[in-house]
Amino acid sequence: MTRLETERLMLRPWLKTDAEDLYRYASDPDIGPITGFPVHTSVENSLEIIDAVFQEPGNFAIYLKSENRVVGSISLKIGQQSSLDLTNQEAEFGYWIGKPFWGQGLMPEAVEAVIDYALNTLDLTDLWCGYYEGNLKSRRVQEKCGFHYHHTEYDVAVPLMHEIRTLHVMHYVGR
């Protein structure tokens, strides 16, 4: 799988050895629920997520070079892989980063690297991102990276949380 590198980050495939780092941040109740996944309950639970979810194409571990550890996740779901109704020339972003790393510009750095990869390597034309009502930090990342408000979807099922939410959808036109 592809590896992407920035000044501070390496975006790479998830490894089973990342389970402890994943648990460290995904067990924080301020991380998962606002992005649509339940709090991780153990290192074993995080390992199961790596095996069942993060091995799918387009999932990258966000590895912070200065810390020598994984601090978050970013995904690029192309066409039918997305929960949105997209063509094979479009993709949806999803991401999160551990709370100790909020406000350091790391998430925009990761998103911009994946935007570059999506447009210039994969030749995608349109990129989409969303954030659930109340997740203003995610909205800000999307705006910083050039995404613009497109529409709002109401009564969206969030299966992993067994909830219905409001989703604001943002759009990035590549070409």
Q: Is residue 93 a part of any domain in this protein?
A: yes
| pLDDT tens per residue, range 124-155 | 999 999 999 999 999 999 999 999 999 999 99
Q: Is residue 53 a part of any domain in this protein?
A: yes
Measured at the alpha carbon of residue 70, what is the angle toward residues 68 and 76, in degrees to the nearest 5?
135
Report d(CA 18, CA 138) in Å as an integer: 24
Q: Is pLDDT at 32 greater than 70 in this prediction?
A: yes
Report d(CA 78, CA 14) in Å as an integer: 18
Report d(CA 122, CA 89) in Å as an integer: 9
Structure tokens at 81: 């892989």
Report d(CA 107, CA 22) in Å as an integer: 16
Q: Among 86, 88, 141, 89, which residue's Cα sits nearest to residue 112? A: 141
Domain of 91 in residue numbering reads as 4-129
Alpha carbon of 112 to those of 33, 38, 118: distances in Å? 24, 27, 10
Q: Among 25, 4, 16, 32, which residue's Cα sits nearest to residue 111? A: 4
Task: Say what the pTM is.
Answer: 0.95
Q: Are 156 and 165 in contact (CB under 8 A)?
A: yes
Report d(CA 24, CA 100) in Å as an integer: 11
CATH classification of the domain holding 84: 3.40.630.30
Q: How many domains does the chain fold into?
A: 1
| pLDDT tens per residue, range 69-97 | 999 999 999 999 998 999 999 999 999 99
Q: Among 129, 130, 123, which residue's Cα sits nearest to residue 88? A: 123
Q: Is residue 101 a part of any domain in this protein?
A: yes
Q: Is residue 161 a part of any domain in this protein?
A: no
